[in-house]
Amino acid sequence: MNADSLLIEVENTFPPIDKPKGLDLSFHKDDCPHCEYLRQDLEVFEGRELPPQALREIYSEMSCLSAAGWRWALPSYLKHCLKVPLAVALHYNDGETEFLIYNLGPKEEHQAETIERLSLLNQSQIDCLIHFLEWCSVHEHWSNYCAEDIQRALAFMHTVQPNPTLKRDAPSARPLAAR
């Protein structure tokens, strides 16, 4: 799969959603200074589309985002990763793509938390993340730089089950009971 066709899949699978409010944005609610700092750093970003500055705030703190925070960030985040030219990724240090790979392939002790962060995704969205990792696995840079991490992420993502209350192609991936 090439970046252009994957970008179309991302746009069809991950519709932009409203930013979660307050504590709903972060994984830990009150007792984590990292989550609190991330909430404060993201206060200025209100739209459904996240600018590059917001993605730079998020990339190294993705584990601080709640499941709702991931749903808000992923549409913009994935588009960014797919649009970064190779020369820019090499020169700019494309931490966004690198850290998404790491976050999708957690070590065993972090797998339960990662599953919780992915819990608002439907099957189509999980499949799209797998397609993203498959794209990384043949990418000129990522296939060499993060080969083992990509394989660990692929293996993990193939075990992730969608929330059973979500429809496969639900446009907003909200639980059916909430509609």
Residue pLDDT, tens place only, 129-163? 999 999 999 998 899 999 999 999 999 999 999 87
- Look at the chain and report how many structural domains it folds into: 1
Q: Which neighbouring-strand residues pair with 26? A: 65
**pLDDT value of position 158:** 97
Residue pLDDT, tens place only, 111-126? 999 999 999 999 999 9
Q: Angle CA(111)–CA(137)–CA(16) in degrees, nearest 5?
A: 65
Domain of residue 73, residue span: 3-178
Percent of the chain with pLDDT over 70: 88
Gap between the Cα atoms of 64 and 97, Å rounded: 17
Give the pLDDT band (50/70/90) at residue 1. confident
Average pLDDT over residues 17-22: 94
Predicted TM-score of the model (pTM): 0.88
Query: Hey, what's the torsion of the CAs at 54, 96, 60, 47, to 10 degrees?
Result: 20
